[in-house]
Amino acid sequence: MDSSESAGTQGVSLEELQLAARNHGMPLEALRYAITPVGLHYLLIHYDIPVVDPDTWRLEIEGLVERPLSMGLDELRTRPVEDLTVTMECAGNGRARLEPRPISQPWLLEAVGTARWRGTPLRPLLEEAGLLADPVELVFSGLDHGHEGGVEQNFQRSLSVADAVESGAVLAYEMNGQPLLPQHGFPLRLVVPGWYGMTNVKWLTRIEAVAEPFSGYQQVRGYRLRLEEDEEGEPLSRMRPRALMIPPGDPEFLTRERIVKLGPCDLQGRAWSGCGEVVSVEVSCDGGRTWDHASLDSAGPAPWVWRWWTYSWTPLSSGRFELCCRARDSWGNEQPVDAAWNVGGYANNAVQRIPVTVVD
């Protein structure tokens, strides 16, 4: 996504609200589930959910290949099966906390989820097709169709063959033990562990090997870090580290502010990164002035899967507190205290802040 507008501290527009109503966030209390229940995993759907007839749908692998492949869902299911647990986050998560706020899907912090995907690995399919040049890029095309930034398009993203292979990408036809739901890309989606959500093309119908760098809208306009509208910018790729906390205590309906009873309070949540493992989570109970280490569960099934963390907090008095958490990964990335603005509002992994009122 690209954005040519931004709105300072003004209220959210009805257009942004329309996007928020259809692109679902994960309520933060759902961090308690290692695998996000179906329907609570975040959703970002650029256009409409397309209608796909599974009986006529086919995946085409074509372009610079020796043997173009075309296969239906039944054929894909006879191929090697791989199960993959993946924490997936939208590159725009945190956008609505930036000032001025870039105008697009107005995510606060809920654009994340973890699923068990089942599918067939991409690499053997590429080997079977036989790539005809090196290097080539792979262009993944979805069936979702619309207009964006003045360009009529199907959603398309590319990956280098190296990234596609080294990441362990899978073509997934099941999620949490069931066929993909329409909104998650039925009948097939690309799943690239560790990469931001836009990489994981839904309603996948074609993989094309090309010799030139792909110049489609979502590659060269959308999903790039830019400080000025007209610069080339850096492409988004792997998820930056983030820790999120289950908001403790009870919520107030309208403000979602938390009310916690005086006494010991277990803080807990999950942390992830697409850049190596999460190696530490720190918690602050005074708005970021002082930090303490949380306990990290043993590593998950893979470095890109979120890790559970806990921290015992005992407020010494009633009153207002601001709880924060931040993660660091094995590549040395750490969450910043302050958000780093960019035109598209991407990759804002500034620390989460939860205002809490402790009552006696």
For a copy of itself, the binding residues (CB under 8 A) are 1, 7, 10-22, 24-25, 27-30, 32-33, 37-41, 43, 45-49, 51, 96, 103-104, 106-108, 110, 145-149, 152, 181-184, 247, 250-256, 259
Give whichever of 14 and 316 is closer to a copy of itself, judged by the CB atom.
14
CB of 40 to a copy of itself, least distance (A): 6
CB of 354 to a copy of itself, least distance (A): 12
Retrieve residue 5's tokens. 């507008």
Contacts for 209 with CB less than 8 Å, ≥ 6 apart: 61, 62, 63, 64, 65, 129, 131, 132, 133, 136, 137, 138, 139, 161
- The whole-angstrom separation of Cα 353 and Cα 340 is 16
- The whole-angstrom separation of Cα 50 and Cα 306 is 30
Give whichever of 24 and 328 is closer to a copy of itself, judged by the CB atom.
24
- The whole-angstrom separation of Cα 295 and Cα 192 is 28
Give whichever of 1 and 325 is closer to a copy of itself, judged by the CB atom.
1
Give whichever of 43 and 239 is closer to a copy of itself, judged by the CB atom.
43
- The whole-angstrom separation of Cα 329 and Cα 240 is 9
CB of 8 to a copy of itself, least distance (A): 11
Give whichever of 109 and 161 is closer to a copy of itself, judged by the CB atom.
109
CB of 359 to a copy of itself, least distance (A): 10
Radius of gyration of the chain (CA): 21
- The whole-angstrom separation of Cα 356 and Cα 316 is 14
CB of 16 to a copy of itself, least distance (A): 7
Give whichever of 51 and 316 is closer to a copy of itself, judged by the CB atom.
51
Nearest to 272 by CA among 328, 350, 324, 197: 328
Give whichever of 11 and 134 is closer to a copy of itself, judged by the CB atom.
11
- The whole-angstrom separation of Cα 112 and Cα 221 is 23
Distances (CA, A) of 320 to 94, 203, 255, 353, 356: 24, 47, 15, 13, 6
Whether residue 327 contacts residue 306, with contact meaning beta carbons closer than 8 Å, is answered with no
CB of 53 to a copy of itself, least distance (A): 13
CB of 114 to a copy of itself, least distance (A): 15
